[in-house]
Amino acid sequence: MSLLPVEPAHRLKDCPEEERWLIEELWADKAVGIIGGEPKCCKSFLALDMAVSVASQRPCLRRFRVVRSGRVLLYAAEDALHVVRSRLDGICNAAGLSLADLDIQVITAPRLRLDLDEDRRRLWETIGAMRPVLLLLDPFVRLHRIDENVSGEVAPLLAYLRDIQRRFSVAVALVHHARKGAGKVRQGQALRGSSEFHAWGDSNLYMRRCGEQLSLSVEHRAAPSLNGIPLALREDENALALAVGEDTVTTPKTQTAPADHLVDKIEAALRGANSPMTVVAIREVCRVRTQTLTRTLASLVESGRLVHTADGYGLV
Number of folded domains that form the chain:
2
Report d(CA 103, CA 90) in Å as an integer: 16
Percent of the chain with pLDDT over 90: 60
Cβ within 8 Å of residue 18, ≥6 positions away = 67, 278, 279, 280
Same domain, 114 and 232: yes
Same domain, 200 and 169: yes
The CATH number given to whatever domain includes residue 183 is: 3.40.50.300
Report d(CA 314, CA 308) in Å as an integer: 7
309 by DSSP, 3-state: which? strand
Chain-centre distance of CA 99, in angstroms? 20
Same domain, 227 and 83: yes
The CATH number given to whatever domain includes residue 295 is: 1.10.10.10
Beta strand residue intervals within 145-298, DSSP E:
171-177, 203-210, 213-220, 226-236, 239-244
Report d(CA 92, CA 99) in Å as an integer: 6
| b/e sequence 152-172, b meaning 16+ C-beta within 10 Å | ebbeebbeebeebbeebebbb
252 confidence band (pLDDT: 50, 70, 90) = very low
Report d(CA 220, CA 29) in Å as an integer: 11
Residue 106 has pLDDT above 80, yes or no: yes
Report d(CA 160, CA 140) in Å as an integer: 13
Report d(CA 293, CA 126) in Å as an integer: 40
Rounded to 5 degrees, what are φ and ψ at 210? -125, 100
Please give the residue that has the higher pLDDT: either 67 or 180: 67
pLDDT at position 250, please? 45
Boundary-marking domain end, from 210, 244, 278 = 244
Cβ within 8 Å of residue 87, ≥6 positions away = 44, 45, 48, 79, 240
Report d(CA 195, CA 213) in Å as an integer: 27
Does residue 8 sit within a domain?
no
| Residue 261 one-letter amino acid | H
Same domain, 89 and 136: yes
Report d(CA 314, CA 199) in Å as an integer: 39
286 confidence band (pLDDT: 50, 70, 90) = confident
Boundary-marking domain end, from 244, 270, 304 = 244
Does residue 249 sit within a domain?
no
Q: What is the mean pLDDT of residues 137-148?
A: 96
Same domain, 51 and 85: yes
Does residue 86 sit within a domain?
yes
272 confidence band (pLDDT: 50, 70, 90) = confident
Same domain, 238 and 282: no
Strands 72-76 and 104-106, bridge-based pairing: parallel
Does residue 5 sit within a domain?
no
Same domain, 144 and 186: yes
pLDDT at position 248, please? 41
Q: What is the mean pLDDT of residues 15-30?
A: 84
Chain-centre distance of CA 64, in angstroms? 9
Percent of the chain with pLDDT over 70: 91
Condensed to tens digits (0 to 9), the pLDDT of residues 211-235 reads 778 999 999 998 888 888 999 988 8
Please give the residue that has the higher pLDDT: either 251 or 148: 148
pLDDT at position 247, please? 46
Same domain, 121 and 177: yes
Same domain, 54 and 152: yes
75 by DSSP, 3-state: which? strand
Boundary-marking domain end, from 244, 272, 306 = 244
pLDDT at position 283, please? 84
Same domain, 191 and 297: no
pLDDT at position 17, please? 58
- Which range of 17-21, 124-128, 287-291 scores highest in mean pLDDT? It is 124-128
Condensed to tens digits (0 to 9), the pLDDT of residues 145-193 reads 999 999 999 999 999 999 999 999 999 999 999 977 665 566 677 898 9
Parent domain of 119: 13-244
Does residue 108 sit within a domain?
yes
Report d(CA 14, CA 29) in Å as an integer: 14
Does residue 31 sit within a domain?
yes
Same domain, 79 and 192: yes
Report d(CA 201, CA 222) in Å as an integer: 11
End-to-end Cα, the chain, rounded Å = 63
pLDDT at position 126, please? 98
47 confidence band (pLDDT: 50, 70, 90) = very high
238 by DSSP, 3-state: which? coil
pLDDT at position 251, please? 45
Does residue 6 sit within a domain?
no
Residue 169 vs residues 20, 64, 132, 273: alpha-carbon distances, Å: 13, 22, 9, 34
CA atoms within 13 A on the CB side of 287: 1
pLDDT at position 211, please? 74
CA atoms within 13 A on the CB side of 182: 19
Does residue 276 sit within a domain?
yes
Same domain, 182 and 270: no
Mean pLDDT (the chain, rounded) = 88
